[in-house]
Structure 1
Amino acid sequence: MVTVGLLYPGHSAEDDYPALEARLDGEVRLPVVITSVGEDAHRVDALLDLGRAERLAEGAAELAAAKPDAVMWACTSGSFVFGPEGARNQASGVAAALGVPASSTSIAFVDALNALGVRRVAIAASYPEDVARHFVRFLTAGGAEVVSMGSHGIITAAEVGTLEPDRVIAMVQAADHPDAEAVLVPDTAMHTLAIIDDLESAVGKPVLTANQVTVWKGLQLLGPVPEFKGLGSLFAAAGGGK
């Protein structure tokens, strides 16, 4: 059994991960350490504080007890606001602290698109538009073309964590675009791991969610990704990409 450790900021949808671990029946361990948060706000200054190296280092020190094989900074906005180089620096800092491979949710989105051979995407963002634009720039730097973006102006992660499945499905449907090959749902504060197949059925194409790509990337850091049912096209792809 492999262990993918997760550094997760604050409290919103962190229970998505133990629920998935239970469904996978012992195939993967997904221990979660909650990292400190200054202000729970989808605002650039607050997100730069959320993702600073000291907070990640504190979380990494706590996560060491779980003896992870790989580690993910399970936060999209707290990685993409730093840009591609800053996100890589976050991951390398965590990797150095724990002596295992590490990455983050923003990097995972880019790598998942490459694994699926997808370039044109639509974004269903819970964030305010100015924050969501940082995600667009991050994806564009990674070679994606964003053909449409829906932003919903939700300020706090805590509020995002309360969204019911029907609301999430409606957000994904509203953000979809005929030219998009996939729809991206970028917030790890949103509960999605139990409804990915429903999201894909609603739009008839791959849907990549933050918590899904986080788990996928954590596994990909260790080798070929197992094929797991109920986790959408990404996990159904042969070997999950490498």
Structure 2
Amino acid sequence: MTPPADSRRDYGRAGRIGVGTPQANPTVEAEFRRLLPVDVEFVSTRLVSRQADARARLVEYLERLDDSLASYGGMGLDLYCFACTGSSYLLGHAAERERVDRAANRFGYPVITATQAIEERLQQLQARRIALIAPYPEWLLSAAVAWWRGRGFEVASQRQVAIARPGDTSSIYELTSADALAAVRAAGDLRVDALLLSGTGMPTLPALAAIQAVAGVPVLSSNLALAGQAVARLGLTLSPLPTPAD
């Protein structure tokens, strides 16, 4: 757990979280806003890259982690959330840990990646056999499957959520939670310990209750896991999820 947040703050008395989100991603902040307790504030920075190639762009987001944290200047953060699963999948666990640990030591606060948060939540659920559904092109889905198998999980099934332009990962941001729900329905009977909806750019919260009902097993999304593990480090819990009527 991180040290207690500064109760003298007007905003973020229970915690101030930095959030790094891919440059064109509109989903992370929207879902964090709905998940974090009222006394926890988040301050976002964009993960930026001029690389035209999607693979190179995702890798650069994590390779430039120190630059992203430096963009906060002297702002006092209690922790930082790196909200891009694809970067971790492509770099691999060892390289991710090296960059994250180096940045945390340099800036003096914990750095949590989305993949780390997902793994922690799966461990809490004692889930070893998982289903993976993600809006990834084949090369990124393969990297994700390899990542989770490398972390000791059995990926019993995998399914792509179709995106408009398969070669362009930014088209993930055109999806809705209804697309995630449709993919879960199409997956059929999931005989697993947990369902992972990977990808911070795919909205899930509006359909999460319906997804849970269809899946019949615990459901994790990247943003849900990341926000949950972040507030846990502050000694808090997530805000109740809104009902569809809200």
Pairwise same-fold verdict (TM > 0.5): yes
Say if 2:190 is the partner of 1:178: yes
Match of 2:7? none
Match of 1:51? 62
Match of 1:102? 111
State how 1:71-220 maps to structure 2 within 5 Å: 71-151=80-160, 152=162, 154-175=166-187, 177-220=189-232
Q: Give the superposition deviation at 1:139.
A: 1.2
Match of 1:34? 46
RMSD: 2.5
Q: Distance in 2 between matches of 1:60 and 1:176?
A: 42
Contact 1:172–1:185 (CA under 8 A) maintained in structure 2: no
Percent identity over paired residues = 22
Match of 2:5? none
Secondary structure in structure 1 of the residue aligned to 2:139: helix
Q: Distance in 1 between matches of 2:52 and 2:236?
A: 33
Report runs of 4+ in structure 1 exceeding 6 Å deviation. Answer: none
Q: Give the superposition deviation at 1:25.
A: 5.5
Q: Distance in 2 between matches of 1:179 and 1:21?
A: 33
Match of 1:234? none
Report the AA paired with residue 230 of structure 1.
Answer: L
Match of 1:239? none
* Highest RCO, 1 vs 2 (Cα 8 Å, sep ≥ 6): 2
Contact 2:135–2:172 (CA under 8 A) maintained in structure 1: yes
Match of 2:8? none
Distance change in 2, residues 1:136/1:37 (3 Å): same
Give a deviation string over 1:39-96, Cα, whole Å, max 9, x none: 36543x44323321xx211210123554221111111001121111111123213312
Contact 1:95–1:102 (CA under 8 A) maintained in structure 2: yes
Report the AA paired with residue 23 of structure 2.
Answer: G
Of 214, 239, 242, the match for 1:228 = 239
Q: Give the superposition deviation at 1:216.
A: 1.7
Distance change in 2, residues 1:77/1:197 (3 Å): same
What stretches of structure 1 of length at least 5 have no aligned partner? 232-242
Match of 1:6? 19
Q: Give the superposition deviation at 1:19.
A: 5.2
**What is the TM-score with the length of structure 2 in the denominator?**
0.81
State how 1:53-72 maps to structure 2 within 5 Å: 55-72=64-81
Contact 1:61–1:97 (CA under 8 A) maintained in structure 2: no
Q: Give the superposition deviation at 1:22.
A: 5.3
**What is the TM-score with the length of structure 1 in the denominator?**
0.82
Contact 1:103–1:218 (CA under 8 A) maintained in structure 2: yes
Q: Distance in 1 between matches of 2:35 and 2:122?
A: 25
Q: If you compute each CA radius of gyration, which structure gives the higher value, 1 or 2?
A: 2
Contact 2:37–2:237 (CA under 8 A) maintained in structure 1: no
Q: Give the superposition deviation at 1:127.
A: 0.8
**Aligned positions, number:** 227
Contact 2:228–2:238 (CA under 8 A) maintained in structure 1: no
Secondary structure in structure 2 of the residue aligned to 1:93: helix
Give a deviation string over 1:167-199, Cα, whole Å, max 9, x none: 121122334543222211111111223432232
Distance change in 2, residues 1:98/1:150 (3 Å): same
Distance change in 2, residues 1:48/1:24 (3 Å): closer
